[in-house]
């Protein structure tokens, strides 16, 4: 049983990584048979992985049809970020408020704040971190928020975690350069500082502002077309009738 669970998790992580990194572009067919042969697994863990990815919005699956990697739509991007703007500021408020009586909960954010400040100092001296290095740091912030939230409200933390795959894929589609790195660095300094200092209202405000700017950046980039010639199926968005 443990071996089956381990194999299922391995297949899930591999397919998820391929979707996030656009090695399986939007619209790609995900045949259980083909995927199982390519990965070297049985169909059962592939089927379970596809189900999990469908729950996370990375795959579209309907009875009697071959699953496909979910397309990217402007409306879908808006909906995702509207959802995130409900969930993540609530989590930040909870963690910052709880940290007033439990300082140990905020320790990881103090550590991260020091690392963001070190990056700011490097930039001030004319250096520029790579895109991968910077996003590794911002991903740690997101994961620390999820971890701290899970300590108090596991369903909220899990719901936030389930959106991470879609967010990572969008970042790889739209953020192909470091043009917005300075803005993002300032925002993470303020978000991280507000949580580390146990300022719930400021944490909500800074996280909401960050998500709003990120949404605008992604929508603007998708409207111009994906960078680096990546073939991405982008559905047009229209208001509901």
Which helix (H) or strand (E) segment holds residue 179: the answer is: none
> Do strands 29-30 and 59-60 pair parallel, antiparallel, or not at all (unpaired)?
unpaired
The arithmetic mean of pLDDT across residues 129-147, rounded, is 90
Q: What is the pLDDT of residues 152-195, one digit of tens each?
A: 999 999 999 999 989 888 887 766 555 678 889 999 999 999 99
Q: What is the pLDDT of residues 75-127, one digit of tens each?
A: 889 999 999 999 999 999 999 999 999 999 999 999 999 999 999 998 888 88
For the chain, the structural domain boundaries read: 2-70, 73-228
Strands (E), 151-239: 234-235
Q: How high is the mean pLDDT of the chain?
A: 87
pLDDT at position 230 is: 47
> Do strands 59-60 and 72-73 pair parallel, antiparallel, or not at all (unpaired)?
unpaired
Q: What is the CATH number of domain 73-228?
A: 1.20.120.530
The architecture in CATH of the region 2-70 reads: Orthogonal Bundle (1.10)
Q: Do domains 2-70 and 73-228 have the same CATH topology?
A: no
**Which residues contact residue 34 at a Cβ distance below 8 angstroms, ignoring those fewer than 6 apart?**
none
pLDDT at position 103 is: 96
Q: Measure the CA–CA gap between 172 and 117, rounded to whole angstroms.
A: 25
Instruction: Return the residue matching tokens 């409207």.
Output: 223
Q: Measure the CA–CA gap between 208 and 83, rounded to whole angstroms.
A: 11
Residue 72: is it exposed, middle or buried by C-beta count within 10 angstroms (0-12/13-18/19+)? buried
Q: Measure the CA–CA gap between 157 and 191, rounded to whole angstroms.
A: 18
Q: What is the pLDDT of residues 194-217, one digit of tens each?
A: 999 999 999 999 999 999 999 998
């Amino acid at each position: 049983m443990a071996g089956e669970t381990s194999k299922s998790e391995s297949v899930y992580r591999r397919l998820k990584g391929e979707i996030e990194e656009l090695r399986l572009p939007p619209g790609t067919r995900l045949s259980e048979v083909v995927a199982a042969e390519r990965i070297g697994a049985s169909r059962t863990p592939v089927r379970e992985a596809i189900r999990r990815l469908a729950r996370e919005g990375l795959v579209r699956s309907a009875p009697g049809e071959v699953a496909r990697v979910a397309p990217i739509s402007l409306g879908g991007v808006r909906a995702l970020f509207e959802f995130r703007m409900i969930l993540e500021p609530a989590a930040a408020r909870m963690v910052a408020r709880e940290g007033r009586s439990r300082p140990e909960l905020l320790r990881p954010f103090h550590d991260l704040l020091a690392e963001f400040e070190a990056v700011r100092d490097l930039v001030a001296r004319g250096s520029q971190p790579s895109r991968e290095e910077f996003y590794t740091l911002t991903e740690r912030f997101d994961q620390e928020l999820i971890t701290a939230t899970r300590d108090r409200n596991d369903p909220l933390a899990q719901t936030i975690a389930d959106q991470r795959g879609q967010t990572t894929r969008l970042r790889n589609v739209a953020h192909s350069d470091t043009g917005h790195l300075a803005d993002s660095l300032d925002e993470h300094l303020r978000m991280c500082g507000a949580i580390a200092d146990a300022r719930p209202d400021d944490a909500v405000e800074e996280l909401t502002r960050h998500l709003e700017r990120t949404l605008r950046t992604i929508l603007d980039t998708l409207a111009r077309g994906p960078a680096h010639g990546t073939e991405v199926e982008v559905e047009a968005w229209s208001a509901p009738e």
